Amino acid sequence: MEKARKLFIAGNWKMNKTVAEATDLVKALKRDLAGIRDVDIAVCPPFTALYPVGQLLDNTNIKLGGQDLYWEKFGAFTGEVNAAMLKDVLCTYVIVGHSERRQFFHETNETVNKKTKAALAARLKPIVCVGETLAERESGKTEAVVQEHVLKGLAGLSAEDLAEVTIAYEPVWAIGTGKTATSQQAQEVHAFIRKLLAQLSDAKTAARVRIQYGGSVKPSNAHELMSQPDVDGALVGGASLTARDFVEIIQNVRK
């Protein structure tokens, strides 16, 4: 059965790639992914590479995203980047609340909510990350943690706002570990997230929101994960750093 929602594959490059390395990678992606319209594609380089990558991707089928933003419009916030700055370098998307931001930089559901609202106000499309740690999963807290992330992180958004949001479910225990949630585990949590979205808005809006899976996605497991009814794409980490792997993931999920 064909999905009503177009798949969305985004690459999160994290703290990798100099400007030269980033532009080389994007040139390869432009060549190898040219003409693909049945999957939405984005890459999220580090801040230093956003401008040159954005220039290369302008008017192509690959969109640009930032890895984070601050919620204030301007001011004395050393080291931060705001939504207008991301728009200025041609970003369409921005990642908000990645588990590494929560773990290492003390992001909270409240700051995720502020950042999501700031992105939407600037007409950036936020990719809002949610997910549990290994300890939380093993103690049976997966749904409680995910519920708190979703309901608090998206509090106060209208149905129109929610329709512009992508959710990325990241089981923290599967990020960069080589472990992957089974397709059944992923589907169970994605379906649960969609029920929560319906609580925040309505069933019609919830059905429109794309929910990506993020956690050691690679060419060998992408097709099975994306074949689940509520898995609408992937937020790809390590495998997005080489053109061959990222392109192969996209080709595999198109089948």
Active-site annotation, residues: 98, 170
**β-pairing, 7-12 with 62-66?**
unpaired
Q: CB of 73 within 8 A of CB of 82?
A: yes
14: nearest Cα among 39, 54, 48: 48
Q: Work out whether strand 62-66 and strand 91-96 pair parallel, antiparallel, or are unpaired.
A: parallel
* Helix, strand, coil percentages, rounded to 5, for the chain: 50, 15, 35
Report whether 105 contacts 95 (CB < 8 A). no
- In whole angstroms, give the CA distance from residue 112 to residue 65: 17
Measured in residues, the chain has a length of 255
Longest dimension (CA), the chain: 52
Burial class (CB in 10 A: 0-12, 13-18, 19+), 145: middle
- How many other β-carbons are positioned within 10 Å of the β-carbon of residue 117? 19
Exposure on the CB side of residue 232, measured as CA atoms within 13 A: 23
Q: What's the alpha-carbon Rg for the chain, to the nearest Å?
A: 17
